[in-house]
């Protein structure tokens, strides 16, 4: 696999031009606790559902202590729009209790020790709350990176390659740019290759449309 930093720079530049006005819930705040809760709410649901649940919860309780003390049924009712609300409510209550008692965790290891927090969520918190040069690899980042030909292997291998190869300057914004691109253009099925601005950089496009 050819590692081309100039290719990455051009990809990021084009994506920034396309999605400069779009943000996800966890980019609308710098508060690590709110970013973490937003990530939990966003699991296996659409962004608009995450936003509804997020607003419901934080209009009612604006600090970890309040959520930690709230009845679990109340949390479930508030976050119901996000789906899987019973499981998420347990995670949110447990995380809130931890933060209220011990303060917010600041390392990957501490974050991943919390209920419901995996690698992707930990990376998002580290990147957007603490400005760490890490890349959160979700299904969109994984799929798009492999199609573009800038990473290969399983999720752990893709994350390792991206973090080794992508310049520090672009790491924090790489996730949300790729997620937007994956949601709007590089779809899991029937990607919009013919109108894609990145087609000239894309290994998938070359294989499908130039070697058929």
pLDDT in tens, 5-53: 788 888 988 998 887 655 555 556 679 999 999 999 998 888 899 999 9
Distance in angstroms (rounded) separating the CA atoms of residues 3 and 165: 7
What's the pLDDT score for residue 143? 95
Q: Kindly list the structural domains of the chain, giving each domain's residue range(s) and its CATH number in brackets, ordered by start.
A: 5-22+134-209 (1.10.1670.10), 31-128 (1.10.340.30)
Would you give the DSSP letter of residue 80? G
86-96, pLDDT tens digit by residue? 999 999 999 99
Residues 31-52 as b/e (b if ≥16 CB within 10 A, e otherwise) read ebbbbbbbbbbbbebeeebbbb
Answer yes or no: are the C-beta atoms of 178 and 140 closer than 8 Å. Answer: yes
89-121, pLDDT tens digit by residue? 999 999 999 999 999 998 999 999 998 899 999
CB atoms within 10 A of CB 23: 12
Task: Tell me the percentage of the chain whose pLDDT exceeds 70.
Answer: 92
In the chain, which ranges are continuous DSSP H helix?
A: 5-19, 32-42, 47-60, 64-69, 72-79, 85-102, 108-112, 119-128, 139-148, 155-165, 168-184, 203-209
- The structure's pTM equals 0.83
DSSP per residue, 41-71: HHTTS-HHHHHHHHHHHHHH--SHHHHHHS-
The yes-or-no verdict on residue 210 having pLDDT over 80 is: no
């Amino acid at each position: 696999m050819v590692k081309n930093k100039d290719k990455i720079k051009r990809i990021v530049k084009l994506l920034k031009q396309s999605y400069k006005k779009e943000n996800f819930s966890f980019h609308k705040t710098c508060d690590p606790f709110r970013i973490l809760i937003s990530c939990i709410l966003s699991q296996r649901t659409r962004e608009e559902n995450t936003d509804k649940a997020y607003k419901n919860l934080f209009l009612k309780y604006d600090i970890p202590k309040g959520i930690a003390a709230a009845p679990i049924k109340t949390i479930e009712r508030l976050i119901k729009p996000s789906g899987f609300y019973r499981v998420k409510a347990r995670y949110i209550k447990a995380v809130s209790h931890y933060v209220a008692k011990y303060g917010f965790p600041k390392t990957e290891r501490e974050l991943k020790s919390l209920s419901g927090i995996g690698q992707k969520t930990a990376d998002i918190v580290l990147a957007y709350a603490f400005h760490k040069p890490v890349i959160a690899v979700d299904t969109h980042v994984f799929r798009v990176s492999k199609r573009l030909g800038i990473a290969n292997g399983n999720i752990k291998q893709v994350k390792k390659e991206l973090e080794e190869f992508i310049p520090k300057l672009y790491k924090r914004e790489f996730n949300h740019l790729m997620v937007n691109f994956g949601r709007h253009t590089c779809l899991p099925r029937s990607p919009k290759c013919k109108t894609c601005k990145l087609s000239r950089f894309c290994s998938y496009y070359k294989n499908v449309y130039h070697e058929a």
